[in-house]
Structure 1
Amino acid sequence: MAHILVPTDFSKNAYNALFYATRLYPNEECIITLVHSFENLFSTNTSRIDIGRNEQLYDELERAAFDKLDTLKHEITLDSEGISLVIDMVTSAQPLYKIVNKLIINTNIDVVVMGTKGSSGIREVFLGSQTVKLIKKIKPVPVPVFVVPQSATFQAPTKVAYATDLKIDYAQYPLEIIKEVIRTHKSKLYITHIYNQMSPGQTVETNYRKLKHKLEDVSYTTHWLSSITKMEDALGLFINEHDINLLVLMYHKSGLLKKLFNKSFVDKLSFHSEIPLLILPESF
């Protein structure tokens, strides 16, 4: 039974992410934990003098949040007829990442699914939004994060591209979430390595062998994309040519993603703002 955590601020893009989450594991019962933080409302209206008023305010905000979560629960249940779901609700005035960390530790969360706001949201994802902050602070048990654009209409992730710089020692990294997606949706997996040298290099070839070993029980094709100047052009062209509907990236501080996470790449990716992302944390 998969356990999915879905943060929500009750916006349309958050609901779109929730809808996507309900379709990730269509063949098994899922637990979905809806999470809402009213940190901003509470901190803005808190009195430093009247402690009693603060407690009353907390209770009021908590009740209001639970009412909204309950409405959201009924709405997604109606939109998910025939899908076996168990929906839990959690709300708190703590920062979102603290709530998420506690739930990951205490309730065995498998994945997090978050929404983002179209092309501008995509830019925020790569340049330091709440999504990236959450990814950085998911500790001590990092989990994969699906990022679903507001403009995305649900498509089963049947064509999955994993863009990698192959600078990671894959012997240390489990890739079960990718394999689960492939098996569940009978997806095609495209391993894409973009390099700007005449040849990939020994380290890349060694890590590629380790990656192949990790993926030996699923089918995939490998694509070596040479791009001397603009890596984002090569990846964008690949996404178009193969009708990719899920892009997998590993979040880490150096290598391919550091080069890709710039304005040029983000502007290019904005044209693909309907494509959900699966981000594997750096220490995953």
Structure 2
Amino acid sequence: MQKHILIPTDYSRNAFNAIVYAFELFKKEECVFHIFHSYFLFRSAQGNILFPEPEPHEYDAVARASGASMLQLKNKVELLADNPKHTVYFDHKFGTLIELLEEKVKRNNIDLIIMGTRGITDDTKVAYGRNSVNVIESITGCAVLAVPANVHYKRINEIVFPTNFKSEFNEREINTFVKIVQLEKSPIRILHIGKEAELSERQRSNRKQLESYFEGLEYSYHWLEKTGVKEGVLSFVDDRNSGMIAFVNRKHWFFGSIFSNPLVKSLGVHSKVPILALHDLRN
């Protein structure tokens, strides 16, 4: 069964890197890639007489500019899109990014979004740009893989899966994660900040459920005590030079608490580790 993968682009170098990474990661799989750009005129959303509605020619101008950039990107992508297993579609549309992505996820039955972590501004002082954070926090219809700008594809040596065992797992997204694990033959390092003996019955039940999803895969448990979640996870990843972090974004407990923290920059994690965000069923 073909995977449908959505790749948002702002025509930046970082966004193009995410396209290359996606093609390489799924090079052995039958995939349909949807490369998509949203363009917008902020004045059109003001609803204020001080910010008059843009004129039709302004809409036409931004549409033409986007179309020209998309054509350039298409020509560039077609130079490397020579995999017979891959079908690539290109599209651009006027509107806000999150609304349009939600629409495409539903319409095209998207399994995974892959995007760069920073866009045109390329602020190296910020681990994750506003758009990538918004997509991870707002899009709940599929998993999201965020690829740092200077990360080039290589086999993922291991995937760290931090969990508090309180999540109700989204089976479809867990299956997407499992597919990546199988593609890369990567061991999973299940990481919990706390003591195994202190797990509640509910946590133990969720742990059993997780093990059922990971049946047939290589995985191991790791328990860290006397450390905060963000310090523990990032130190673990940095010490082991792990290739990816995958997590269930349960009510923003993980992404919001970690990746807005300066610790990300100090450890350098943001520069070398792709992040796979899954969603709790209750989100």
TM-score when scaled to structure 2?
0.83
Contact 2:125–2:265, Cα closer than 8 Å, also in 1: no
The equivalent of 1:154 in structure 2 is: 153
Q: Which stretch shifts more, 25-34 or 53-62?
A: 53-62
Q: Which stretch shifts more, 4-13 or 266-275?
A: 266-275
The 1-side partners of 2:168 and 2:48 are apart by 51
Which amino acid in the other structure matches residue 236 of structure 2? F
Structure 2 CA distance for partners of 1:254 and 1:59, relative to 1, 3 Å: closer
Structure 2 CA distance for partners of 1:121 and 1:14, relative to 1, 3 Å: farther
The equivalent of 1:12 in structure 2 is: 13
The equivalent of 1:120 in structure 2 is: 125
The equivalent of 1:227 in structure 2 is: 225
**Post-superposition shift, 1:64?**
2.2
The 1-side partners of 2:58 and 2:254 are apart by 47
Contact 2:189–2:222, Cα closer than 8 Å, also in 1: no
1:253 pairs with 243, 251, 274, which one?
A: 251
Q: Secondary structure at the match of 1:92?
A: strand
**Post-superposition shift, 1:249?**
1.5
Structure 2 CA distance for partners of 1:205 and 1:269, relative to 1, 3 Å: farther
Contact 1:159–1:190, Cα closer than 8 Å, also in 2: yes
Structure 2 CA distance for partners of 1:241 and 1:143, relative to 1, 3 Å: same
1:62 and 2:63 correspond: yes
Unaligned runs of 5+ in 2: none
2:276 pairs with 252, 268, 278, which one?
A: 278
Structure 2 CA distance for partners of 1:41 and 1:75, relative to 1, 3 Å: farther
The 2-side partners of 1:50 and 1:231 are apart by 47
Which amino acid in the other structure matches residue 88 of structure 1? Y
**Root-mean-square deviation over aligned CA pairs:** 3.1
Provide Cα deviations, 1:31-74, integer angstroms capped at 9, x if missing partner.
21111121147749x998998x7333323322221221122122
Q: Secondary structure at the match of 2:159?
A: strand
The equivalent of 2:162 in structure 1 is: 163
Provide Cα deviations, 1:143-192, integer angstroms capped at 9, x if missing partner.
0000011121222334211111111134x644101110111222222222
**Post-superposition shift, 1:26?**
1.0
Which amino acid in the other structure matches residue 221 of structure 2? H
Q: Which stretch shifts more, 72-81 or 148-157?
A: 72-81
Which amino acid in the other structure matches residue 234 of structure 1? G
- 1:77-92 matches, cutoff 5 A: 77-82=78-83, 84-92=85-93
1:136 and 2:137 correspond: yes
The 2-side partners of 1:146 and 1:269 are apart by 20
**Post-superposition shift, 1:11?**
0.9
Q: Secondary structure at the match of 1:146?
A: strand
**Post-superposition shift, 1:256?**
5.5
Contact 1:29–1:84, Cα closer than 8 Å, also in 2: yes
Which amino acid in the other structure matches residue 62 of structure 1? A
Provide Cα deviations, 1:213-233, integer angstroms capped at 9, x if missing partner.
2222x3222223223133334
Q: Secondary structure at the match of 2:37?
A: strand
Contact 2:163–2:191, Cα closer than 8 Å, also in 1: yes
1:240 pairs with 224, 238, 241, which one?
A: 238
Which amino acid in the other structure matches residue 230 of structure 1? G
Which amino acid in the other structure matches residue 31 of structure 2? C
Which amino acid in the other structure matches residue 228 of structure 2? K
The equivalent of 1:36 in structure 2 is: 37
Which amino acid in the other structure matches residue 5 of structure 2? I
Corresponding pairs, count:
274
